[in-house]
Amino acid sequence: MSLGTVRGYRELSDAGSKTAVLDARTRELIALAVAVTRYSKEVYVVLTINGGSSSVKFAVYQIGTSLKRVLSGTVDRIGSSGTTLSWQTTDGRSNEVRKEPQHDAQGAGRLIDWLEARPELAAVTAVGHRVVHGLSHTEPARITPGIVDELRRATPYAPDHLPREIELIEAFATRHPRLPQVACFDTSFHRDMPRVASLLPIPRRYQVKGIRRYGFHGLSYAYLLEELTRAAGATAARGRVIFAHLGNGASLAAVHEGTSIDTSMGFTPAAGLVMSTRSGDLDPGVVSFLAHTEQMTSRQFHDMVNHESGLLGVSEISSDMRDLLAREADDVRAAEAVGLFCYQTKKWVGAFTAALGGLDTLVFSAGIGERSAPIRARICEGLGFLGIELHDVRNAAHAPVISTDASRVTVRVIPTDEEQMIARSVSRLLGLDGHRTVRDA
């Protein structure tokens, strides 16, 4: 429900006070409008949108003395059969609705329709979007027509992500033109990487086209850095830290003095570590070989390395690490996929320890990193020479600290929350924590 709709029901309430009989739905809406009037004087509300290539995550946060999530959900399998919208509220209520396949524009509109019917949305002050690629942007930015034009021009840099993100931004702008929207760029966290870490070894003339290493998962890393500061203190957070964001998309980042000095992803999110369906780093000779032997086009190659490779490609079974762990004892393909993931992650930890000149803290996060004790153990196995020593019981329990007391490197598990980082960024940019009105700014 938009604020304009709520204002309409406030007017209806005034008129309704003179009417003896009102239907139940009208009375419910009037009560909601009165509650929203009282509620919106106390806190601001931010809606976060995290649009991926085939799904959209959303959340609603109240901004008071702290952030409070009141609603969260996901739209999965957009544009294909079995599209679902699932959500959960803070009181534990949850539901799931299965919908017919939607085109991107229809899907964005249907999502907004559903959100507007939720009472949590009645007092929304601003919308924050995760935008996968920010090019030269180093901080979150209020979305303007100029920003949208920049994102359109940047679409070739992230063709699987930016079109849907732009679609969502434009859908909200059309339906709620006075509602401030903020772009939170996933590349911004790596803005201060040393030049040597951002260069690609191709002819220099391509640098003017923006072909370089950018790095991604920046919202996750920014959140993890703030949480590490909260949990371990500023000294630990400003030390030599490796963050391992291990989920469907997987990457690592080397951070020193609170600044990213290197990361495994590069020009696109397909680079670096092997992932669920992405290849990670690949010999460029494979491109010409497949073009010559199989007449594979650039589009087909793009689809292969992004959607048919990684754990799925090696195992020929599943892109889900849980499935592979369950079958590795009986299927060599599953075992090789798991082994490749752990081996490559271990190599990145070693490489980034060298880049940092040592290691003080290793942080595991995201779906695999947070919930798979066997994978964490295999990655850390044999890294005692770096000062890493896991505590088996703590690791099995997914404790906040899973290293032994004697370990020179503190190994932590910190759940990530990109949606909360978006809400924090919106609040800071628009001054919502200071209760400044921004709707008419």
Q: Catalytic residue numbers?
A: 186
Q: Cα dihedral sign for 155, 134, 182, 426?
A: positive
182 in Cβ contact with 140 (< 8 Å): yes
Q: Which residue has the tokens 């598990």?
A: 413
60 in Cβ contact with 111 (< 8 Å): no
Structure tokens at 195: 């030049």
Q: Which residues are registered as beta bridge partners of 68?
A: 62
Calpha distance 378→375 (Å, rounded): 5
Calpha distance 15→6 (Å, rounded): 14
Give the CA radius of gyration of the chain. Answer: 23
Calpha distance 254→241 (Å, rounded): 6
The set of residues, in sequence order, having a beta carbon less than 8 Å from that of 311 and lying 6+ positions away, is 274, 275, 276, 277, 318, 319, 320, 321, 324, 337, 338, 341
Structure tokens at 104: 């991107």
Structure tokens at 181: 């929207």
Question: Coil, strand, or helix at residue 118?
Answer: coil
**Burial track 355-386 (b if 16+ CB lie within 10 A, e otherwise):** bbeebbbbbbbbbbbbbbbebbebbbeebeeb
Q: Which residue has the tokens 């079958």?
A: 327
Collect contacts of 382-388 with beta carbons under 8 A, ≥24 apart. 382/346, 383/346, 383/349, 383/350, 386/349, 386/350, 386/353, 386/359, 387/359, 388/359, 388/362
